[in-house]
Structure 1
Amino acid sequence: MIFAYNRDHVGDVLMVIVTDDKGQENRVERKGNVARVSVVGDEQVVAWNIFEASMILGEIEGNGQVELTDEQVAKVNNELVKAGFSEILEKDNDPKIVIGFVKSCKKHPDSDHLSVTQTEVDHGEVLQIVCGAPNIKAGQKVVVAKPGAMMPDGLMIWPGVLRGVESFGMICSAGELRLPDAPTKKGILELPFDAVVGDAFPVGK
């Protein structure tokens, strides 16, 4: 679950992104300061919008993806109840942009520029990630955007299929992470080998 806030461009609205709608038609139901966004047909909830967010939650720090305190999440849930919705939001504290280790890297069976990696992201958790960077190889420490991550430009990362192969995340370049002085040359960011797998990566710093 991702919390996003951009007062300058969207207004005083907290956006809560629950899951990928996969391009399906959405239905919006608004009650008071709460709007529930669900998929037409199966009514799966994919997002919430909380209007007048700063009035309800107090100061919201950051721009883009933001971290809410436990108290603020409780206030969001209270607002949902007041509006007559039955759902409860649970805060996900696991970092979504983390340091990873490329355990293996093989050529994609149906592409001459893609590679299929098995990349460890934390305590033995391994994700299959398809990567198009020319400098990707086994043995690297890299930055991984796991499913459910929001990139600095607002792009959401979800599981997908690239040329017939499933991919569960993205191995990031310095430019995609909006790092200062990021090189223009295409390629993923390589980290020092003493970087700790599973640690959150400080995006934009």
Structure 2
Amino acid sequence: MLIASYNPSSLGDVLITVIHEDTAQQRIDKKGNIVRIRAVDTDKILGYNFFNVSKIIGSLDEKGQVKLNNSQVAGLNAALTEAGFEDELVIDNEPKFVVGYVEEISEHPDSDHLHITKTRVDNGDLLQIVCGAPNIEQGQTVVVAKVGAMMPSGQIIWPGKLRGVPSEGMICSARELSLPNAPEKRGILVLSHEKYAVGKEFVF
């Protein structure tokens, strides 16, 4: 997994890359313009911060999440090697926001408002996603933020548990996707069966 974000107005010319979920205790290694972040307990690499990144891969037009191409990832890896880091970033082109279909829905055993869904996404995968939206129903076509998705708010979707039940993603509302004219009322975004094919990337 490789998640990248760029926000020059608040952070300057810094590309933040995330490989694994944050941990409470972290260790920092800095070499030149690159900072590596690792988990203290497992020594797992959590990500890298590339300072003056425009000198490494050229200017970035995006603000927020950045979809890196092969050439850009190769440039970052060359910079890692030059700085003395032995690690390598692996490009991740799999779509993280996809059209899903709610095949099954059941009540959460420890909540009066949460539901457990079995939702079909791309590659034929069936994900268990816990959803608290009041309008969730079986048979809906929806937008799924899969594990590794970065929401417009900057939140990254990781595997988790809601009231003890595992959940592998999030079924999104229009407001969570920052869509124009999103309703203030709580509820997921329900898509048209005719216009949206299950498993396709949802571009917004």
Normalising TM by the smaller chain, what interval? over 0.9
Contact 2:144–2:169 (CA under 8 A) maintained in structure 1: yes
Deviation per residue, 1:128-154 (Å, 9 max, x gap): 000000000110000000011100010
Paired residue type of 1:3:
A
Matches within 5 A, 1:22-61: 23-61=23-61
SS of residue in 2 equivalent to 1:56: helix
Give distance in 1, aligned partners of 2:164 and 2:42: 27
Q: Deviations over 1:102-150 (max 9, x none)?
A: 0101110110000000001113201100000000011000000001110
Could you tell me how far apart the structure 2 residues matched to 1:141 and 1:62 are?
Answer: 29
Instruction: Tell me the TM-score normalised to structure 2 length.
Output: 0.97
- TM-score (normalizing by structure 1): 0.96
Tell me if structure 1 keeps the 8 A contact 2:157–2:170.
yes
Q: Counterpart in 2 of 1:170?
A: 170
Q: Which amino acid aligns with 1:61?
A: D
Question: How many angstroms apart in 1 are the aligned matches of 2:176 and 2:41?
Answer: 35
Q: 1:140 aligns to what?
A: 140
- Tell me the CA shift for residue 196 of structure 1: 1.1
Could you say what secondary structure the match of 1:185 adopts?
coil
Q: Deviations over 1:46-80 (max 9, x none)?
A: 11101101111102121110112211110000000
CA distance in 2, matches of 1:158, 1:41: 19
**Equivalent residues of 2:103, 2:139 under 8 A apart:** yes
- Residue 24 of structure 1, CA deviation: 2.1
Q: Give the alignment's Cα RMSD to 1 decimal.
A: 0.8
Conserved in 2, the CA contact under 8 Å of 1:19 and 1:148?
A: no
Secondary structure at the counterpart of residue 76 of structure 2? helix
Q: Which amino acid aligns with 1:24?
A: A
Aligned residues: 202
Asked whether the equivalents of residues 69 and 91 of structure 2 are also in contact (C-alpha less than 8 Å), the reply is: no
Q: Which moved more, 1:139-148 or 1:56-65?
A: 56-65
Q: Structure 2: any 5+ residue segments left out of the alignment?
A: none
Indicate the residue corresponding to 1:92 in structure 2: 92
> Please, which runs of 5 or more residues in structure 1 have no aligned partner?
none
State the one-letter code of the partner of 1:15: I
Equivalent-residue separation in structure 2 for 1:170 and 1:40 (angstroms): 29
Q: Deviations over 1:137-182 (max 9, x none)?
A: 1100000000111000100100001111000000000000000000
Give 1:193's aligned residue: 193
